[in-house]
């Protein structure tokens, strides 16, 4: 598909804009941008916008821009994806900060989650930036602290973006339509015992006291099942206990990752857990709630019309923090996220830009 993408004072072909997106992604891969430390990555976004003649705003490590003919009387579409990455795991065989192209694959940390979506949405925003007589405004936002659900990410700039009609949230979905996603509860649990010498029959082992609760988290099934998101899923993911081999531990800390559905409120889930376990349970946050958009929403219907499938996503994103309709969609495969030797296919980025534009064209020119 051949398209012209208009920029200030010039006309760029689709292939030229795609090449710029890939080059930007290579720069981002080469720039460590762990959650809370996205400053240099944000500077790359700023430089890209400057090169395209686009004014921008910045708060913390969040960067956003509005289309040239922004009209406050029109509804606004937000194009959002995140700058930050997780830390590379020890199983990498390639340099996670080197953008390596092998055949059609671009390797590097953050290439798939969510660099491919980020640069694709940047190209799409550039496509619409100078257009006049659009039915909607368009805002592009590259946000921070998505991977750690931090408070200095998209949540910190929503008020400055103004009223949003709906958002496209760029995450790897094979460009299918994630119309619902699970929420997240991270629970800090503590089992208490009494210290003593391990060689004698004294003390109460906090680790042993924690085991029945850990077993409960493994075995329990919440009875209500969401039509779109399935079951609530609980996983014990971390445990810390003991100071040395010959002391009975008096405290055992463990962490539980709970993926929540719209069948329960977060408060209901927490009440069920506390009723079944003996340990102390403290939620880190109640902010990351399940989210969804109606299958009848025009942007979802437009996607279905393009042959895209709808589904419920088990992973969380900045969608959870958006108090307006949002659709999670982007190039790449969620199964590659956070894996060693992460990669995205270059053709996925090209297809992503094309499908994003076709999706929005059906709305923005009506």
pLDDT band at 8 (very low <50, low <70, confident <90, very high): very low
Q: Would you say residue 3 has pLDDT above 80?
A: no
DSSP characters for 28-66?
HHTS--BTT--HHHHHHHHHHHHHTT---EEETTEEEEE
CA distance 347 to 359: 18
Token pair of 11 as six digits = 């006309």
Q: Would you say residue 11 has pLDDT above 60?
A: no
Per-residue model confidence as pLDDT tens digits over 44-58: 999 999 999 999 999
Please state whether 244 falls in left (phi above 0), alpha (psi between -120 and 50) or beta: beta
CA distance 351 to 339: 23
Q: Would you say residue 280 has pLDDT above 90?
A: yes
CA distance 84 to 146: 7
Which residues is 309 bridged to in the sheet? Answer: none
CA distances (Å), origin 185, targets 131, 270, 274, 289, 290: 42, 9, 13, 8, 10
Find the distance separating the first CA and the last CA of the chain, reported in whole Å: 22
pLDDT of residue 276: 98
pLDDT of residue 6: 44
**Residue keyed to tokens 């109460």:** 204
Q: Would you say residue 9 has pLDDT above 90?
A: no
CA distance 7 to 355: 20
DSSP characters for 68-120?
TT--TTS-EEEEEEE--BPPPPTT-SS-TTS-EEETTEEESTTIIIIIHHHHH
CA distance 351 to 228: 26
pLDDT of residue 68: 96
CA distance 131 to 361: 12
pLDDT band at 13 (very low <50, low <70, confident <90, very high): confident
pLDDT of residue 347: 97
Q: Would you say residue 7 has pLDDT above 80?
A: no
Token pair of 208 as six digits = 């042993």
* 7 vs 27, more confident: 27
Per-residue model confidence as pLDDT tens digits over 23-42: 999 999 999 999 999 999 99
pLDDT band at 14 (very low <50, low <70, confident <90, very high): confident
pLDDT band at 106 (very low <50, low <70, confident <90, very high): very high
CA distances (Å), origin 235, targets 96, 185, 215: 28, 11, 10
Q: Specify the pTM.
A: 0.87
CA distance 133 to 216: 58
Can you list the alpha helix ranges (DSSP code H) found in the chain? 14-29, 39-51, 116-129, 158-161, 206-219, 266-276, 298-305, 346-364
pLDDT of residue 365: 84
- What does DSSP assign to residue 320? G
**Residue keyed to tokens 């029945």:** 212
pLDDT of residue 366: 65
CA distance 107 to 112: 9
Per-residue model confidence as pLDDT tens digits over 236-266: 999 999 999 999 999 999 999 999 999 999 9
The number of residues in the chain equals 366
Region 189-204: mean pLDDT is 93
Per-residue model confidence as pLDDT tens digits over 137-189: 999 999 999 999 899 999 999 999 999 999 999 999 999 999 999 999 999 99
pLDDT band at 15 (very low <50, low <70, confident <90, very high): confident
**Residue keyed to tokens 């009875």:** 223
pLDDT band at 4 (very low <50, low <70, confident <90, very high): very low
| 348: helix, strand or coil | helix
Sign of CA dihedral 170, 356, 336, 45: negative
Per-residue model confidence as pLDDT tens digits over 284-333: 989 999 999 999 999 999 999 999 999 999 888 999 999 999 999 999 99
Domains plus CATH for the chain? 4-181+290-364 (3.40.630.10), 183-283 (3.30.70.360)
Per-residue model confidence as pLDDT tens digits over 126-135: 999 999 999 9
pLDDT of residue 12: 64
Average pLDDT, the chain: 94
Region 321-348: mean pLDDT is 96
């Amino acid at each position: 598909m051949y398209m012209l993408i208009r920029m200030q004072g010039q006309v760029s072909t689709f292939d030229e804009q795609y090449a710029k997106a890939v080059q930007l992604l290579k720069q981002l891969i080469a720039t460590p941008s762990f959650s809370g430390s996205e400053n240099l990555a944000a500077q790359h976004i700023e430089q890209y916008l400057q090169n395209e003649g686009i004014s921008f705003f910045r708060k913390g490590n969040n960067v956003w821009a509005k289309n040239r003919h922004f009209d406050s009387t029109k509804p606004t579409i937000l194009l959002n994806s995140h700058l930050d990455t997780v830390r590379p795991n020890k199983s990498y065989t390639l340099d996670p900060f080197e953008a390596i192209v092998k055949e059609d694959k671009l390797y590097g940390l953050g290439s798939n989650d969510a660099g491919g979506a980020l640069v694709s949405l940047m190209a799409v925003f550039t496509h619409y930036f100078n257009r006049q007589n659009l039915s909607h405004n368009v805002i592009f936002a590259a946000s921070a602290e998505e991977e750690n659900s931090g408070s200095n990410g998209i949540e910190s700039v929503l008020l400055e973006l103004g009223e949003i009609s709906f958002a496209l949230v760029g995450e790897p979905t094979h460009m299918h339509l994630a119309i619902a996603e699970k929420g997240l509860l991270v629970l800090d649990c503590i089992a208490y015992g009494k210290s003593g010498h391990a060689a004698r029959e004294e003390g109460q082992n906090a680790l042993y006291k924690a085991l029945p609760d850990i077993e409960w988290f493994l075995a329990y099934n919440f009875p209500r099942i969401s039509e779109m998101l399935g079951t609530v899923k609980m996983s014990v993911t971390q445990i810390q206990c003991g100071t040395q081999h010959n002391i009975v531990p008096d405290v055992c800390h463990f962490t539980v990752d709970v993926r929540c559905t719209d069948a329960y409120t977060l408060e209901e889930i927490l009440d069920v857990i506390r009723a079944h376990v003996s340990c102390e349970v403290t939620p880190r946050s109640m902010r990351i709630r399940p989210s969804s958009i109606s299958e009848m929403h025009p942007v979802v219907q437009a996607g279905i019309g393009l042959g895209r499938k709808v589904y419920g996503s088990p992973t969380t994103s900045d969608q959870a923090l958006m108090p307006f309709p949002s659709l999670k969609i982007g190039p790449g495969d969620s199964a590659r996220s956070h894996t060693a030797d992460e990669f995205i296919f270059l053709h996925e980025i090209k297809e992503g830009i094309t499908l994003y534009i076709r999706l929005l064209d059906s709305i923005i020119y009506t």
